[in-house]
Amino acid sequence: MNDGTPCPVSARKIPCRHRVRSDDRICNMTATARGIVGGLLGCLLAACVTTTAPPEVSSVEVQQEAVIQEQLVRRSSGVAADTQRFSRGHAAASLRANSIHRRLMQANVDSCSRQTTDIGALVANRSGFGFRLNSTDPTYNPSWNRLYPTDEYMRVIEVQAMAPAAWAGLRKGDIITHINSIPLGTDRYANATYRREIQGTDRKSLRIWRNGSEQQIDLYPETICDMPLIILNEDTKNAFADGQHIYLYAGLEDALEDDTQLAIIIGHEMAHNTLGHIDSTIALSALGGLIASAFDPSFKELGQDLGAIAFSQEFESEADYVGVYFAARAGFDVSQAADLWRRMALINPAAIHVPSLTHPSTAKRYNTIRKTSQEIQMKRNLGLPLRYELR
């Protein structure tokens, strides 16, 4: 029986093993049952609540911003993806996203429990990539090779700024033939050998071909977060995390206005992973099922669903807050970062006022990020380190 409580479907893509089974089932649960289970969850699951201190946002601030976002929607026909860019495949989007992703992984390595090493160069041949940028799209390699023609050799297709490869003088177009005197070979063998030999922080002596002559470049890989980015080639405007990876839809990358907005998105998902939100959600779901089944075994699955979303909005606000810090520490100008949520309001106007079961409204998220940006600027003015606040 539905008591009339609004139950909008969550807009967030959640990995299937973590996904709430049905918002409708929670809505149809009686008010009494929801009250009992929800109250017990609130009392018993306090250990899983957020640990950071995002800025407080008043209802007046939310309402004022909602009015602005509504006006923007009325003036706009919405946000359409750049269909020309999207039709090319998502290789170009992947290159851009990977560069931004790496900056965040390097600048925030102290926040990650899992780490790896990297030189800051994207290397590929016709058989694949010497870096961990993954795709679920079977047309990905052909799309990539149309934009970035390669052959059987491991060729540098991008050198990222402020990274070991750039400091050592590696250039786009260089062909890497050896690492520490070990020949890379060609095709698939070259990919596997490159990925194996480039690991570690010890000195790497790269033998390269450049403009018809052989040269040697020595460099030292640096430690970054081990949190791979996976690109999903769908015209969906979303991103999500699973505790170890970050998933980004190509459609969202197309809809964003600049690199800072993409950095905020990646930083948000990175925050979910580093703060343990996925593990907490799994634990909350299990405990919610136990609590609910103690009253009535038929409520177990509903209790699991309620447990999974018990602190979801708090987790989202926390990830918004910490994600801005991650982007700022990576060198992005976050002074206008809040504009991301006006952009998202154009994509999903229904989220301006009404929060979903799992996410705050876009008006509230705008204010959370706006105040976080102000907090970061204040710390910069005072010469304080960019560390997010804890409770």
> 129 pLDDT exceeds 70?
no
Q: Is 231 helix (H, G, I), strand (E, B) or coil?
A: strand
Residue ranges, comma separated, of all CATH 2.30.42.10 domains in the chain are 115-225
The residue with tokens 């106007």 is 349
CA distance 44 to 59: 28
pLDDT at 105 over 80: yes
- Token pair 């407080």 is found at 56
186 falls in which pLDDT band (50, 70, 90)? confident
Helix axes 259-274, 91-107, angle to 10 degrees: 60
Distance CA 328, CA 380 (A): 10
Residue 88, pLDDT score: 46
Task: Give the count of beta carbons closer than 10 Å to the beta carbon of residue 292.
Answer: 26
Give the pLDDT confidence score for residue 314 in this predicted structure: 87
- pLDDT 10s digits, 330-360: 999 999 999 999 999 999 998 998 766 678 9
CA 78 from centre of chain: 23
pLDDT at 6 over 60: no
- Which of the residue ranges 82-96, 150-164, 191-205 would you say has the lowest mean pLDDT? 82-96
148: left (phi over 0), alpha (psi -120 to 50) or beta: beta
According to the model, what pLDDT value does residue 15 have? 41
Residues 63-81 have a mean pLDDT of 83
Mean pLDDT estimate for the chain: 81
CA distances 64 to 71, 191, 253, 286, 366, Å, are: 11, 54, 28, 39, 11
Determine the pLDDT at residue 52: 92
DSSP per residue, 138-177? TTHHHHHHHHS---SSEEEEEE-SSSHHHHHT--TTPEEE
Pull the structure tokens for residue 336: 């206008």
pLDDT greater than 80 at residue 145:
no
The pTM is what?
Answer: 0.81
The H or E element spanning position 95 is helix 91-107
Task: Work out the average pLDDT over 66-77.
Answer: 90
136: pLDDT strictly greater than 50: no
CB atoms within 10 A of CB 360: 22
Superfamily name and number for 115-225: PDZ domain (2.30.42.10)
